[in-house]
Amino acid sequence: MFTTPETTSPQLLAWCRDALQALAVGFYVAAQLGLATYSSHRFVVLQRMRLARPIAPLPALKPGALPRVTVQLPVYNEPQVVERLIDSAVALEYPADRLEIQLLDDSDDGTTAIAAAAIARHRARGTDVLHVRRAERAGYKAGALAHGLALASGEFVAVFDADFVPAPDFLLRMLPHFADPGVGMVQARWGHLNRGRSLLTAAQAVMLDAHFLLEHAVRMSRGLFFNFNGTAGIWRCRCIEEAGGWSHDTLTEDMDLSYRAQLAGWRFVFDRSVVVPAELPSSMRAFKSQQHRWAKGSIQTARKLLPAVFASDVPWGVKLEAFFHLTSNAAYPMLLALGLLLLPVMLGSSVLPPVVVLAMQAVVLVTGVLPVTLFLAGGQYEAGARGWALVRDTLAALVLGVGLSWNNARAVWEALGSEVGVFERTPKTGEMSVAGPVRARAGAAQKRMAIQPELALAAYFVVLLGWAAASHEWRALPFLALLIAGYGWVGAAPRGSQHVDS
Protein backbone atom coordinates (compact mmCIF):
# COMPACT_ATOMS: atom_id res chain seq x y z
CA MET A 1 0.00 0.00 0.00
CA PHE A 2 1.10 3.55 -0.75
CA THR A 3 1.04 6.24 1.92
CA THR A 4 -0.63 9.52 1.11
CA PRO A 5 0.95 12.99 1.33
CA GLU A 6 -1.43 13.76 4.20
CA THR A 7 0.15 11.05 6.35
CA THR A 8 3.76 11.75 5.41
CA SER A 9 3.82 15.57 5.58
CA PRO A 10 3.68 15.88 9.41
CA GLN A 11 6.36 13.22 9.74
CA LEU A 12 8.52 14.93 7.12
CA LEU A 13 8.13 18.31 8.79
CA ALA A 14 9.03 16.82 12.16
CA TRP A 15 12.07 15.12 10.64
CA CYS A 16 13.20 18.36 8.98
CA ARG A 17 12.69 20.28 12.24
CA ASP A 18 14.74 17.76 14.20
CA ALA A 19 17.45 17.69 11.54
CA LEU A 20 17.77 21.49 11.55
CA GLN A 21 17.86 21.56 15.33
CA ALA A 22 20.54 18.87 15.36
CA LEU A 23 22.54 20.84 12.78
CA ALA A 24 22.23 24.03 14.83
CA VAL A 25 23.31 22.19 17.97
CA GLY A 26 26.28 20.74 16.09
CA PHE A 27 27.44 24.20 14.97
CA TYR A 28 26.83 25.51 18.49
CA VAL A 29 28.98 22.81 20.04
CA ALA A 30 31.73 23.40 17.49
CA ALA A 31 31.73 27.15 18.17
CA GLN A 32 31.62 26.46 21.89
CA LEU A 33 34.64 24.17 21.74
CA GLY A 34 36.58 26.68 19.67
CA LEU A 35 35.76 29.59 21.97
CA ALA A 36 36.53 27.52 25.06
CA THR A 37 39.93 26.64 23.59
CA TYR A 38 40.88 30.26 22.96
CA SER A 39 39.44 31.48 26.24
CA SER A 40 41.08 28.73 28.28
CA HIS A 41 44.41 29.81 26.85
CA ARG A 42 44.05 32.73 29.26
CA PHE A 43 44.42 30.22 32.09
CA VAL A 44 47.74 29.17 30.57
CA VAL A 45 48.93 32.78 30.49
CA LEU A 46 47.89 33.34 34.10
CA GLN A 47 49.64 30.17 35.23
CA ARG A 48 52.83 31.11 33.41
CA MET A 49 52.67 34.63 34.84
CA ARG A 50 53.24 33.18 38.30
CA LEU A 51 56.59 31.87 37.08
CA ALA A 52 57.61 34.89 35.00
CA ARG A 53 60.68 36.68 36.31
CA PRO A 54 61.13 40.45 36.04
CA ILE A 55 63.99 41.90 33.99
CA ALA A 56 67.14 42.42 36.01
CA PRO A 57 68.26 46.07 36.21
CA LEU A 58 70.75 46.94 33.49
CA PRO A 59 73.76 49.22 33.87
CA ALA A 60 73.44 52.54 32.10
CA LEU A 61 75.40 53.05 28.90
CA LYS A 62 78.52 55.13 29.24
CA PRO A 63 78.22 58.54 27.53
CA GLY A 64 80.96 57.62 25.08
CA ALA A 65 79.17 54.36 24.13
CA LEU A 66 75.82 55.90 23.20
CA PRO A 67 74.93 54.93 19.61
CA ARG A 68 73.36 57.18 17.01
CA VAL A 69 69.56 57.00 17.15
CA THR A 70 66.87 58.05 14.69
CA VAL A 71 63.46 58.89 16.13
CA GLN A 72 60.63 58.39 13.64
CA LEU A 73 57.30 60.16 14.10
CA PRO A 74 54.78 58.93 11.49
CA VAL A 75 51.78 61.26 11.21
CA TYR A 76 48.77 61.61 8.94
CA ASN A 77 46.33 64.48 9.53
CA GLU A 78 47.07 64.97 13.23
CA PRO A 79 46.64 68.74 13.81
CA GLN A 80 45.62 68.30 17.46
CA VAL A 81 48.72 66.43 18.56
CA VAL A 82 51.56 66.95 16.08
CA GLU A 83 53.17 69.88 17.91
CA ARG A 84 53.06 68.05 21.23
CA LEU A 85 54.63 65.02 19.54
CA ILE A 86 57.50 67.03 18.09
CA ASP A 87 58.11 68.81 21.39
CA SER A 88 58.27 65.53 23.31
CA ALA A 89 60.72 64.03 20.82
CA VAL A 90 62.96 67.09 21.01
CA ALA A 91 62.86 66.89 24.81
CA LEU A 92 64.46 63.42 24.82
CA GLU A 93 67.62 63.44 26.89
CA TYR A 94 70.31 62.36 24.45
CA PRO A 95 73.46 63.86 22.95
CA ALA A 96 72.39 66.19 20.16
CA ASP A 97 75.17 64.98 17.85
CA ARG A 98 73.84 61.40 18.10
CA LEU A 99 70.13 62.05 17.74
CA GLU A 100 68.13 62.52 14.55
CA ILE A 101 64.38 63.16 14.53
CA GLN A 102 62.23 62.47 11.46
CA LEU A 103 58.66 63.70 11.20
CA LEU A 104 57.24 61.37 8.55
CA ASP A 105 54.37 63.59 7.44
CA ASP A 106 51.85 62.17 4.95
CA SER A 107 49.20 64.74 5.88
CA ASP A 108 46.96 66.55 3.42
CA ASP A 109 45.41 69.01 5.88
CA GLY A 110 46.61 71.74 8.23
CA THR A 111 48.91 69.35 10.10
CA THR A 112 51.78 70.11 7.75
CA ALA A 113 51.75 73.85 8.43
CA ILE A 114 51.60 73.31 12.21
CA ALA A 115 54.45 70.82 12.01
CA ALA A 116 56.57 73.06 9.80
CA ALA A 117 56.30 75.93 12.28
CA ALA A 118 57.24 73.69 15.23
CA ILE A 119 60.17 72.17 13.35
CA ALA A 120 61.44 75.59 12.31
CA ARG A 121 61.33 76.69 15.94
CA HIS A 122 63.41 73.72 17.08
CA ARG A 123 65.85 73.82 14.19
CA ALA A 124 66.58 77.44 15.01
CA ARG A 125 67.83 76.15 18.37
CA GLY A 126 70.13 73.62 16.69
CA THR A 127 68.01 70.46 16.97
CA ASP A 128 68.26 67.95 14.10
CA VAL A 129 64.59 67.61 13.10
CA LEU A 130 63.74 66.62 9.54
CA HIS A 131 60.34 67.20 7.96
CA VAL A 132 60.01 64.24 5.57
CA ARG A 133 57.25 64.45 2.96
CA ARG A 134 56.36 61.90 0.27
CA ALA A 135 54.80 62.52 -3.10
CA GLU A 136 52.04 60.02 -2.33
CA ARG A 137 50.93 57.96 0.68
CA ALA A 138 51.97 54.61 -0.76
CA GLY A 139 51.95 51.80 1.77
CA TYR A 140 50.38 53.96 4.49
CA LYS A 141 52.33 53.86 7.77
CA ALA A 142 54.57 50.98 6.70
CA GLY A 143 55.51 52.90 3.56
CA ALA A 144 56.32 56.02 5.58
CA LEU A 145 58.52 54.08 8.00
CA ALA A 146 60.36 52.37 5.16
CA HIS A 147 60.88 55.68 3.37
CA GLY A 148 62.25 57.28 6.52
CA LEU A 149 64.48 54.30 7.26
CA ALA A 150 66.14 54.70 3.86
CA LEU A 151 67.08 58.25 4.88
CA ALA A 152 67.98 57.48 8.50
CA SER A 153 71.51 57.76 9.85
CA GLY A 154 70.91 55.98 13.15
CA GLU A 155 72.01 52.50 14.17
CA PHE A 156 68.73 52.25 16.09
CA VAL A 157 65.30 53.68 15.31
CA ALA A 158 62.65 54.60 17.87
CA VAL A 159 59.02 54.93 16.71
CA PHE A 160 56.26 57.02 18.31
CA ASP A 161 52.73 57.42 16.99
CA ALA A 162 51.20 60.89 17.03
CA ASP A 163 49.43 60.61 20.38
CA PHE A 164 52.35 59.22 22.40
CA VAL A 165 54.30 61.35 24.86
CA PRO A 166 57.62 59.68 25.79
CA ALA A 167 59.45 60.73 28.95
CA PRO A 168 62.78 62.52 28.43
CA ASP A 169 64.76 59.50 29.68
CA PHE A 170 63.09 57.00 27.32
CA LEU A 171 66.16 56.35 25.13
CA LEU A 172 68.58 56.17 28.05
CA ARG A 173 66.43 53.54 29.79
CA MET A 174 65.67 51.42 26.73
CA LEU A 175 68.99 51.34 24.84
CA PRO A 176 70.96 49.30 27.46
CA HIS A 177 68.94 46.23 26.43
CA PHE A 178 70.73 46.31 23.08
CA ALA A 179 74.04 45.54 24.77
CA ASP A 180 73.01 41.98 23.91
CA PRO A 181 73.79 41.79 20.17
CA GLY A 182 70.96 39.30 19.67
CA VAL A 183 68.25 41.78 20.71
CA GLY A 184 66.48 43.24 17.71
CA MET A 185 63.63 45.21 19.31
CA VAL A 186 62.69 46.55 22.74
CA GLN A 187 59.06 47.40 23.49
CA ALA A 188 57.89 49.73 26.27
CA ARG A 189 54.51 49.55 27.99
CA TRP A 190 51.68 51.85 26.96
CA GLY A 191 50.24 54.22 29.53
CA HIS A 192 46.92 56.03 29.24
CA LEU A 193 46.63 59.80 29.19
CA ASN A 194 42.82 59.88 29.33
CA ARG A 195 41.96 56.64 31.11
CA GLY A 196 39.53 58.38 33.49
CA ARG A 197 37.53 60.19 30.83
CA SER A 198 34.82 57.54 30.54
CA LEU A 199 33.94 53.93 31.17
CA LEU A 200 34.91 53.29 27.55
CA THR A 201 38.47 54.53 28.00
CA ALA A 202 38.75 52.73 31.36
CA ALA A 203 37.70 49.45 29.70
CA GLN A 204 40.24 49.93 26.91
CA ALA A 205 42.95 50.51 29.49
CA VAL A 206 42.06 47.18 31.12
CA MET A 207 42.42 45.35 27.81
CA LEU A 208 45.77 46.96 27.04
CA ASP A 209 47.14 46.45 30.55
CA ALA A 210 46.40 42.72 30.34
CA HIS A 211 47.98 42.55 26.88
CA PHE A 212 51.23 44.14 28.02
CA LEU A 213 51.58 43.08 31.66
CA LEU A 214 50.47 39.48 31.14
CA GLU A 215 50.81 38.43 27.50
CA HIS A 216 54.00 40.30 26.65
CA ALA A 217 55.62 39.52 29.99
CA VAL A 218 54.85 35.80 29.76
CA ARG A 219 55.85 35.43 26.13
CA MET A 220 59.17 37.15 26.67
CA SER A 221 60.02 35.21 29.84
CA ARG A 222 59.22 31.90 28.12
CA GLY A 223 61.15 32.65 24.94
CA LEU A 224 57.96 32.83 22.86
CA PHE A 225 57.25 35.17 19.97
CA PHE A 226 55.57 38.49 20.71
CA ASN A 227 55.13 41.64 18.68
CA PHE A 228 56.21 45.23 18.45
CA ASN A 229 53.06 47.26 19.06
CA GLY A 230 53.66 49.82 16.33
CA THR A 231 54.91 52.54 18.67
CA ALA A 232 56.82 53.20 21.92
CA GLY A 233 59.63 50.84 20.95
CA ILE A 234 63.14 50.81 19.52
CA TRP A 235 64.43 48.68 16.67
CA ARG A 236 67.97 47.75 15.70
CA CYS A 237 68.08 48.86 12.06
CA ARG A 238 70.02 45.75 11.03
CA CYS A 239 67.19 43.61 12.47
CA ILE A 240 64.63 45.36 10.25
CA GLU A 241 66.83 44.94 7.20
CA GLU A 242 67.57 41.25 7.80
CA ALA A 243 63.87 40.55 8.38
CA GLY A 244 63.01 41.98 4.96
CA GLY A 245 61.97 45.50 5.94
CA TRP A 246 58.58 47.07 6.46
CA SER A 247 55.75 45.62 4.37
CA HIS A 248 52.24 46.91 3.77
CA ASP A 249 50.57 43.69 2.58
CA THR A 250 48.75 43.44 5.93
CA LEU A 251 47.07 46.08 8.09
CA THR A 252 49.33 45.21 11.05
CA GLU A 253 52.76 45.96 9.65
CA ASP A 254 54.20 45.89 13.17
CA MET A 255 53.09 42.31 13.87
CA ASP A 256 54.17 41.17 10.42
CA LEU A 257 57.72 42.52 10.78
CA SER A 258 57.94 41.25 14.37
CA TYR A 259 57.30 37.66 13.36
CA ARG A 260 59.64 37.81 10.38
CA ALA A 261 62.38 39.21 12.60
CA GLN A 262 61.98 36.51 15.26
CA LEU A 263 61.86 33.81 12.59
CA ALA A 264 65.21 35.21 11.43
CA GLY A 265 66.61 34.55 14.91
CA TRP A 266 66.33 37.95 16.61
CA ARG A 267 65.24 38.21 20.22
CA PHE A 268 62.73 40.78 21.54
CA VAL A 269 62.55 42.42 24.96
CA PHE A 270 59.56 43.91 26.76
CA ASP A 271 60.43 46.41 29.50
CA ARG A 272 57.35 46.92 31.68
CA SER A 273 59.13 49.52 33.79
CA VAL A 274 59.22 52.02 30.93
CA VAL A 275 55.73 53.44 30.39
CA VAL A 276 54.87 55.78 27.50
CA PRO A 277 51.47 57.44 27.95
CA ALA A 278 49.16 57.76 24.99
CA GLU A 279 45.60 58.73 24.14
CA LEU A 280 42.86 56.12 24.15
CA PRO A 281 40.04 56.52 21.60
CA SER A 282 37.33 58.46 23.41
CA SER A 283 34.50 57.68 20.97
CA MET A 284 33.03 54.28 20.22
CA ARG A 285 33.32 54.88 16.48
CA ALA A 286 37.07 55.52 16.72
CA PHE A 287 37.56 52.54 19.02
CA LYS A 288 35.66 50.19 16.70
CA SER A 289 37.69 51.38 13.72
CA GLN A 290 40.92 50.71 15.59
CA GLN A 291 39.79 47.25 16.73
CA HIS A 292 38.60 46.36 13.23
CA ARG A 293 42.03 47.18 11.79
CA TRP A 294 43.87 45.25 14.48
CA ALA A 295 41.62 42.19 14.16
CA LYS A 296 41.76 42.14 10.37
CA GLY A 297 45.51 42.69 10.30
CA SER A 298 46.26 39.91 12.77
CA ILE A 299 44.35 37.34 10.69
CA GLN A 300 46.09 38.61 7.55
CA THR A 301 49.43 38.13 9.29
CA ALA A 302 48.38 34.64 10.37
CA ARG A 303 47.55 33.73 6.78
CA LYS A 304 50.85 35.14 5.60
CA LEU A 305 53.27 33.82 8.22
CA LEU A 306 51.84 30.80 10.04
CA PRO A 307 53.02 28.43 7.27
CA ALA A 308 56.54 29.81 7.74
CA VAL A 309 56.25 29.50 11.52
CA PHE A 310 55.24 25.84 11.36
CA ALA A 311 57.89 25.09 8.73
CA SER A 312 60.63 26.67 10.86
CA ASP A 313 62.89 24.86 13.33
CA VAL A 314 61.64 26.78 16.39
CA PRO A 315 60.30 24.61 19.25
CA TRP A 316 56.74 23.35 19.02
CA GLY A 317 55.78 25.36 22.08
CA VAL A 318 56.73 28.53 20.21
CA LYS A 319 54.74 27.42 17.17
CA LEU A 320 51.64 26.65 19.21
CA GLU A 321 51.77 29.96 21.04
CA ALA A 322 52.26 31.78 17.72
CA PHE A 323 49.09 30.10 16.42
CA PHE A 324 47.04 31.27 19.42
CA HIS A 325 48.56 34.74 19.23
CA LEU A 326 47.99 35.36 15.53
CA THR A 327 44.54 33.75 15.33
CA SER A 328 43.14 34.94 18.67
CA ASN A 329 40.58 37.19 16.96
CA ALA A 330 38.90 34.08 15.53
CA ALA A 331 37.19 33.89 18.93
CA TYR A 332 34.92 36.80 17.96
CA PRO A 333 32.97 35.03 15.18
CA MET A 334 32.67 32.03 17.48
CA LEU A 335 31.17 34.21 20.21
CA LEU A 336 28.77 35.76 17.70
CA ALA A 337 27.75 32.30 16.51
CA LEU A 338 27.03 31.16 20.06
CA GLY A 339 24.65 34.06 20.55
CA LEU A 340 22.84 33.62 17.26
CA LEU A 341 22.47 29.86 17.71
CA LEU A 342 21.17 30.12 21.25
CA LEU A 343 17.51 30.04 20.20
CA PRO A 344 17.63 26.78 18.20
CA VAL A 345 19.70 25.22 21.00
CA MET A 346 17.06 26.14 23.58
CA LEU A 347 14.42 24.75 21.25
CA GLY A 348 16.45 21.57 20.85
CA SER A 349 15.13 19.76 23.90
CA SER A 350 13.67 17.20 21.51
CA VAL A 351 17.17 16.49 20.22
CA LEU A 352 19.19 16.70 23.42
CA PRO A 353 18.29 15.89 27.03
CA PRO A 354 17.74 19.03 29.16
CA VAL A 355 20.74 18.20 31.33
CA VAL A 356 22.99 18.27 28.27
CA VAL A 357 21.64 21.64 27.18
CA LEU A 358 22.17 22.96 30.71
CA ALA A 359 25.75 21.67 30.68
CA MET A 360 26.38 23.40 27.35
CA GLN A 361 25.25 26.73 28.79
CA ALA A 362 27.42 26.21 31.87
CA VAL A 363 30.45 25.47 29.72
CA VAL A 364 30.06 28.84 27.98
CA LEU A 365 30.31 30.64 31.30
CA VAL A 366 32.99 28.48 32.93
CA THR A 367 35.37 27.97 30.01
CA GLY A 368 34.49 31.10 28.03
CA VAL A 369 33.64 33.95 30.38
CA LEU A 370 35.54 33.00 33.54
CA PRO A 371 39.08 32.75 32.11
CA VAL A 372 38.71 36.01 30.23
CA THR A 373 37.42 37.75 33.35
CA LEU A 374 40.33 36.46 35.44
CA PHE A 375 42.78 37.44 32.71
CA LEU A 376 41.50 41.01 32.58
CA ALA A 377 41.42 41.24 36.38
CA GLY A 378 44.95 39.84 36.55
CA GLY A 379 46.18 42.57 34.24
CA GLN A 380 44.62 45.20 36.47
CA TYR A 381 46.15 43.66 39.56
CA GLU A 382 49.57 43.78 37.90
CA ALA A 383 48.93 47.43 37.01
CA GLY A 384 48.26 48.21 40.67
CA ALA A 385 44.46 48.45 40.66
CA ARG A 386 42.60 47.26 43.73
CA GLY A 387 39.10 47.21 45.20
CA TRP A 388 36.03 48.55 43.44
CA ALA A 389 37.97 50.17 40.59
CA LEU A 390 39.44 46.78 39.64
CA VAL A 391 36.03 45.07 39.69
CA ARG A 392 34.18 47.84 37.84
CA ASP A 393 36.73 48.31 35.09
CA THR A 394 37.23 44.57 34.58
CA LEU A 395 33.50 44.01 34.14
CA ALA A 396 33.34 46.97 31.75
CA ALA A 397 36.13 45.48 29.65
CA LEU A 398 34.39 42.09 29.59
CA VAL A 399 31.10 43.61 28.43
CA LEU A 400 32.88 45.77 25.85
CA GLY A 401 34.70 42.74 24.46
CA VAL A 402 31.39 40.91 24.00
CA GLY A 403 29.90 43.94 22.26
CA LEU A 404 32.82 44.03 19.81
CA SER A 405 32.10 40.55 18.48
CA TRP A 406 30.09 41.74 15.46
CA ASN A 407 32.64 44.41 14.53
CA ASN A 408 35.63 42.09 14.88
CA ALA A 409 33.92 39.05 13.38
CA ARG A 410 33.35 41.15 10.27
CA ALA A 411 37.06 42.06 10.31
CA VAL A 412 38.04 38.38 10.51
CA TRP A 413 35.76 37.56 7.57
CA GLU A 414 37.25 40.39 5.50
CA ALA A 415 40.77 39.19 6.31
CA LEU A 416 40.01 35.90 4.59
CA GLY A 417 39.66 37.78 1.30
CA SER A 418 42.45 38.87 -1.03
CA GLU A 419 42.25 42.65 -0.53
CA VAL A 420 44.48 44.19 2.13
CA GLY A 421 42.09 47.08 2.76
CA VAL A 422 42.58 50.70 3.70
CA PHE A 423 44.72 51.62 6.70
CA GLU A 424 42.33 53.84 8.65
CA ARG A 425 44.14 55.82 11.32
CA THR A 426 42.57 56.22 14.75
CA PRO A 427 41.46 59.88 15.20
CA LYS A 428 43.35 61.80 17.90
CA THR A 429 41.84 64.64 19.93
CA GLY A 430 44.84 65.82 21.94
CA GLU A 431 43.16 65.27 25.30
CA MET A 432 45.64 64.81 28.14
CA SER A 433 43.22 64.14 31.00
CA VAL A 434 39.56 64.05 32.00
CA ALA A 435 39.24 67.77 31.55
CA GLY A 436 40.77 67.80 28.09
CA PRO A 437 38.65 68.71 25.08
CA VAL A 438 37.23 66.12 22.74
CA ARG A 439 37.43 67.63 19.29
CA ALA A 440 36.87 64.62 17.05
CA ARG A 441 33.90 64.91 14.73
CA ALA A 442 31.95 62.34 12.79
CA GLY A 443 28.95 62.69 10.55
CA ALA A 444 25.63 61.65 12.01
CA ALA A 445 24.98 59.36 9.07
CA GLN A 446 28.28 57.54 9.69
CA LYS A 447 27.42 57.13 13.34
CA ARG A 448 23.98 55.70 12.60
CA MET A 449 25.46 53.24 10.12
CA ALA A 450 28.06 52.15 12.65
CA ILE A 451 25.61 51.34 15.43
CA GLN A 452 22.80 49.62 13.49
CA PRO A 453 24.10 46.02 13.60
CA GLU A 454 24.84 46.04 17.33
CA LEU A 455 21.50 47.64 18.20
CA ALA A 456 19.69 45.10 16.08
CA LEU A 457 21.51 42.29 17.86
CA ALA A 458 20.75 43.82 21.24
CA ALA A 459 17.04 44.04 20.34
CA TYR A 460 17.04 40.42 19.18
CA PHE A 461 18.57 39.22 22.43
CA VAL A 462 16.13 41.32 24.49
CA VAL A 463 13.25 39.49 22.79
CA LEU A 464 15.03 36.18 23.31
CA LEU A 465 15.57 36.99 26.97
CA GLY A 466 11.87 37.67 27.41
CA TRP A 467 10.97 34.41 25.73
CA ALA A 468 13.53 32.48 27.79
CA ALA A 469 12.18 33.94 31.05
CA ALA A 470 8.58 33.17 30.06
CA SER A 471 9.61 29.62 29.16
CA HIS A 472 11.56 29.20 32.41
CA GLU A 473 14.81 28.76 30.46
CA TRP A 474 16.78 30.25 33.35
CA ARG A 475 20.01 28.61 32.21
CA ALA A 476 20.30 31.01 29.26
CA LEU A 477 19.64 34.25 31.15
CA PRO A 478 23.21 35.08 32.30
CA PHE A 479 24.67 34.70 28.79
CA LEU A 480 21.78 36.64 27.24
CA ALA A 481 22.20 39.46 29.75
CA LEU A 482 25.88 39.70 28.87
CA LEU A 483 25.08 39.83 25.14
CA ILE A 484 22.45 42.53 25.64
CA ALA A 485 24.78 44.64 27.76
CA GLY A 486 27.62 44.32 25.28
CA TYR A 487 25.75 44.99 22.07
CA GLY A 488 23.61 47.64 23.71
CA TRP A 489 26.65 49.56 24.91
CA VAL A 490 28.60 49.34 21.66
CA GLY A 491 25.54 50.09 19.55
CA ALA A 492 24.10 53.01 21.49
CA ALA A 493 27.19 54.59 23.09
CA PRO A 494 26.86 58.41 23.08
CA ARG A 495 29.63 60.54 21.66
CA GLY A 496 30.43 62.00 25.08
CA SER A 497 30.62 59.71 28.10
CA GLN A 498 30.42 60.45 31.77
CA HIS A 499 33.61 60.78 33.80
CA VAL A 500 34.62 57.75 35.85
CA ASP A 501 36.29 58.45 39.18
CA SER A 502 39.39 56.35 39.67
CB-count burial class (<10 Å; 0-12, 13-18, 19+) for 410: middle
Position 19 confidence tier, pLDDT thresholds 50, 70, 90: confident
Which residues, other chains included, contact 498 with Cβ-Cβ below 8 Å and sequence gap of 6+?
198, 199
The Cα diameter of the chain in Å comes to 104
- Tell me if residue 254 is catalytic: yes
The dihedral over CA atoms of 133, 245, 162, 290, expressed in degrees to the nearest 10, equals: 120
pLDDT, tens digit, 9 for 90 and up, residues 52-101:
777 777 888 888 889 999 999 999 999 999 999 999 999 999 999 999 99
Of 4-13, 37-46, 48-57, 285-294, least confident by mean pLDDT is 4-13
Cα–Cα distances (Å) from 452 to 16, 176, 282, 402, 448, in that order, read 33, 50, 20, 16, 6
Instruction: Single out the catalytic residue among 106, 163, 209, 271.
Output: 106
Of 181-190, 413-422, 440-449, least confident by mean pLDDT is 440-449
Which residues on adjacent β-strands are paired with residue 70? 100, 157
- Tell me if residue 87 is catalytic: no
Which residues, other chains included, contact 31 with Cβ-Cβ below 8 Å and sequence gap of 6+?
334, 335, 337, 338, 341
Instruction: Single out the catalytic residue among 161, 163, 209, 254.
Output: 254
With residue 421 as reference, give the H or E element that holds it: none
Rounded-to-integer distance, Cα 343 and Cα 90, Å: 59
With residue 224 as reference, give the H or E element that holds it: none
With residue 277 as reference, give the H or E element that holds it: strand 267-278
Cα–Cα distances (Å) from 184 to 144, 234, 236, 257, 496, in that order, read 20, 8, 5, 11, 41
pLDDT, tens digit, 9 for 90 and up, residues 110-151:
999 999 999 999 999 999 999 999 989 999 999 999 999 999
Position 234 confidence tier, pLDDT thresholds 50, 70, 90: very high
φ, ψ dihedrals at 278, nearest 5°: -150, 170
Residues counted in the chain: 502
3-state secondary structure of 129: strand
Average pLDDT along the chain? 88
Which CATH code of 3.90.550.10, 3.30.1360.70, 3.40.190.10, 2.40.50.140 fits the domain covering 67-328? 3.90.550.10
φ, ψ dihedrals at 190, nearest 5°: -85, 135
Domain with CATH 3.90.550.10 in the chain: 67-328
pLDDT > 90 fraction of the chain, expressed in percent and rounded: 70
Rounded-to-integer distance, Cα 108 and Cα 76, Å: 8
Q: What are the residue ranges of helices labelled H in 328-476? A: 331-340, 342-346, 354-363, 370-383, 387-403, 405-415, 444-470
